[in-house]
Structure 1
Amino acid sequence: MNNFENETYDEYLRNLFNTYPNIFLALIVTSLVGLFLYNFIENYNNLNNLNLECKLYKDSITEMVFELEKKNKIIKTLKERNNIIYESICDYLTAKKTHNYNLRDRKYRSYKE
């Protein structure tokens, strides 16, 4: 190595690798293992983030479905009440025209029960 000035960089690296082959092999293996571990950890973190997002979306969708079911029950109840009121008004008007109040009272009592 006393003629370092005359040696090219490629020759220097070749001589260095020939002198210490195990060190370079250990560096290469260590860097490959490090890259593998880094990618593994990144993928694991991404999966955890996706699982958390999926859980949040699932919870929000479940909550929205629950709210929709609640509103649907309210709408159904209101429709039923609306139909009862409409039929009662129709019966009242029919009874008023025909002067048959017993019919109206009988139907009204059945709705009330």
Structure 2
Amino acid sequence: MPLKSVQTLNNLKPNFEYLCRLCDEFNTTGFYPFAIEQKSKQCVQARQFPKRAGNNEDPATGVAASALGAYLTEHKVFYPLKDAWNSYKIIQGVAMGRPSIISSEMFI
């Protein structure tokens, strides 16, 4: 779920019960909003709100970061793409005070 700015991303205050109902309605396991941090460095910030996982937010989510890398590649968010491995840095957990950096690499 792309957002316009990192500030908007980090200021989100989700209604977790409502998010769980949306997850049920759309048959998803959570929401993963993101915003471009530094376009020139292929860097993105993201937040993971998992559905009924025992915690409202996850500071590092490899599966979601991998899917985000595929999204960034498919939609050519960082252009031009290399005709080889494309690497992305995904920063997660900042808003909850537990920052992490995940690398996501996609081959085209």
**TM range, normalised to the smaller chain?**
under 0.3
TM-score w.r.t. structure 1 length?
Answer: 0.21
TM-score w.r.t. structure 2 length?
Answer: 0.21
Q: Which one has the largest radius of gyration?
A: 1
Q: Which has the higher helix share?
A: 1
